[in-house]
């Protein structure tokens, strides 16, 4: 049985409370104090009977917490939080501010297995999946330090769908009306393209927004950039996307990082149009953010505008995601860069 109460759903907390001979409604106090008041100790859940608190503690139940280690602020308003986990792992979380609305970029793993060559996190050794409690706690710290969170994007360190159960459990907790109460349409889960997990997501009761990182319109180019492409061809990923769209009718965002003279030609833009033809998608073009040891260069602004223009002229809804937080290595692809060993 799960001993960290921060990992538990409302239903699981009710079952736990009931197992000690108490009425289920008391679990509501536990849930609210953990996910709204953000308490870190059972004794702080004062509405619970003292006997129940003692019983839970005696059986080893706890409320976990991650520790803020560092804060870094970019002049553009971006903040990067660095957190220490209980076992010594370290993760990074980014708060983006736009016209009074706060978007939090969450990490789901310490390190990453995917090994994308243009991503600093992909060059770090994979350490482990984060627990559900460690994922939601990033939100609670950011709320305390930076204000109300309006949007969540699971686009930080790690591959979210490689930690499927904990990620979806965290989505349920953060969406809960007695917790952070963040609307499901304001939560985006990203993946580099794991077809089985995309289909599994389609079968879930909750459907956050889905973003799929393609970064190339053909397998040969993708092989140069993304190790996962050696296991899953674009045809297999596109088939999973079609299944997802058929089951959910939810628009999918395609993420595409523009890398100079690798994936940014006019011909590749036209290939991407053909790849996405007939699919309910929009495209986010990302300016690549270099880091020490990265073998690639970002596409120049003129090339980005030309690539975006081709997509737009073909009727694809296209947005260029501008660089944010580069001075503090908080931009897309830079998380964990400060811990990379120099080449």
Please report the sign of the dihedral spanned by the C-alpha atoms of residue 185, residue 189, residue 195, residue 197: negative
Residue 153 shares a structural domain with residue 71: yes
Whole-structure pTM value: 0.96
Residue 94 shares a structural domain with residue 40: no
**Residues pairing with 188 in the sheet:** 153, 209
Residue 127 shares a structural domain with residue 274: yes
Measured from the Cβ of residue 212, the count of other Cβ atoms closer than 10 Å reads: 23
Residue 254 φ/ψ, nearest 5 degrees:
-100, 120
132, 257, 294, 332: the catalytic one is 332
How many whole angstroms separate alpha carbon 131 and alpha carbon 170?
9
Check residue 167 and give its pLDDT: 98
Q: How far is CA 95 from CA 68, 133, 145, in A?
A: 14, 19, 10
How many whole angstroms separate alpha carbon 72 and alpha carbon 94?
10
Of 40, 58, 76, which residue sits at a domain end? 58
Check residue 48 and give its pLDDT: 97
Residues in the chain, total: 343
Check residue 329 and give its pLDDT: 87
Largest CA distance in the chain: 69
Count up the domains in the chain and report the number: 2
Q: Which of 48, 51, 52, 49 is nearest to 31 (CA)?
A: 48
Residue 90 shares a structural domain with residue 136: yes
Residue 141 shares a structural domain with residue 253: yes
Residue 18 shares a structural domain with residue 91: no
Of 13, 33, 58, which residue sits at a domain end? 58
Residue 76 shares a structural domain with residue 198: yes
Residue 40 shares a structural domain with residue 73: no
Check residue 341 and give its pLDDT: 65
Residue 108 shares a structural domain with residue 34: no
What are the mean pLDDT values of the chain's consecutive 10-residue runs (343 residues total)?
A: 92 97 97 96 97 97 98 95 96 93 97 90 91 98 96 97 98 96 97 97 96 97 93 96 96 97 98 97 93 88 97 97 85 83 56
For 210, how many CA atoms within 13 A lie in the half-sphere containing its CB? 31
Indicate the helix (H) or strand (E) that contains 210: strand 209-213
Give the CATH number of the domain where residue 50 resides: 1.10.150.530
Check residue 239 and give its pLDDT: 97
92, 134, 159, 287: the catalytic one is 92
Instruction: Please return the burial class of 68, using the count of CB atoms within 10 Å of its CB with bins 0-12, 13-18 and 19+.
Output: middle
Check residue 342 and give its pLDDT: 55
Check residue 336 and give its pLDDT: 86
Check residue 332 and give its pLDDT: 85
Under 8 Å between Cβ of 170 and 226? no
Catalytic residue status for 92: yes
Residue 42 shares a structural domain with residue 85: no
Of 39, 58, 77, which residue sits at a domain end? 58
How many whole angstroms separate alpha carbon 254 and alpha carbon 89?
31
Residue 151 shares a structural domain with residue 42: no
Residue 157 shares a structural domain with residue 26: no
Catalytic residue status for 297: no
Give the CATH number of the domain where residue 202 resides: 3.20.20.70
What residues make up the domain containing 275? Answer: 67-339
Residue 301 φ/ψ, nearest 5 degrees:
-55, -40
């Amino acid at each position: 049985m799960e001993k960290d109460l921060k990992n538990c759903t409302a239903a699981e907390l009710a079952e736990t409370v009931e197992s000690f001979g108490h009425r289920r409604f008391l679990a509501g106090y536990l849930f609210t104090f953990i996910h709204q008041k953000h308490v870190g100790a059972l004794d702080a859940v004062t509405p619970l009977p003292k006997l129940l608190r003692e019983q839970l503690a005696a059986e080893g139940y706890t409320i976990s917490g991650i520790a803020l280690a560092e804060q870094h602020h970019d002049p553009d308003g971006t903040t990067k939080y660095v957190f220490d986990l209980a076992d010594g792992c370290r993760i990074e979380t980014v708060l983006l501010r736009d016209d009074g609305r706060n978007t939090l970029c969450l990490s789901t793993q310490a390190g990453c297995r995917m090994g994308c060559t243009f991503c600093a996190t992909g060059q770090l050794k994979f350490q482990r999946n984060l627990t559900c409690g460690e994922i939601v706690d990033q939100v609670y710290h950011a709320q305390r330090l930076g204000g109300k969170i309006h949007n969540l994007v699971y686009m930080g360190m790690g591959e979210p769908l490689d930690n499927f159960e904990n990620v979806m459990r965290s989505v349920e907790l953060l969406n809960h009306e007695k917790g952070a109460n963040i609307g499901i349409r304001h939560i985006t889960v990203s993946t580099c393209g794991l077809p089985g997990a995309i289909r599994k997501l389609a079968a879930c009761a909750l459907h956050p927004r889905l973003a799929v990182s393609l970064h190339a319109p053909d397998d040969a180019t993708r092989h140069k950039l993304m190790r996962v492409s050696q296991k899953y061809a674009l045809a297999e990923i596109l088939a999973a996307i079609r299944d997802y769209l058929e089951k959910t009718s939810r628009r999918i965002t395609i993420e595409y990082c523009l890398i100079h003279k690798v994936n940014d030609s006019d011909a590749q833009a036209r290939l991407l149009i053909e790849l996405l033809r007939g699919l309910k998608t929009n495209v986010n073009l990302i300016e690549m953010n270099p880091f020490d040891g990265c073998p690639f260069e970002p596409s120049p602004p003129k090339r980005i505008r030309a690539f975006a223009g081709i997509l737009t002229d073909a009727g694809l809804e296209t947005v260029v995601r501008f660089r944010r937080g580069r001075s503090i290595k908080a931009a897309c692809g830079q998380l964990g860069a400060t811990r990379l060993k120099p080449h």
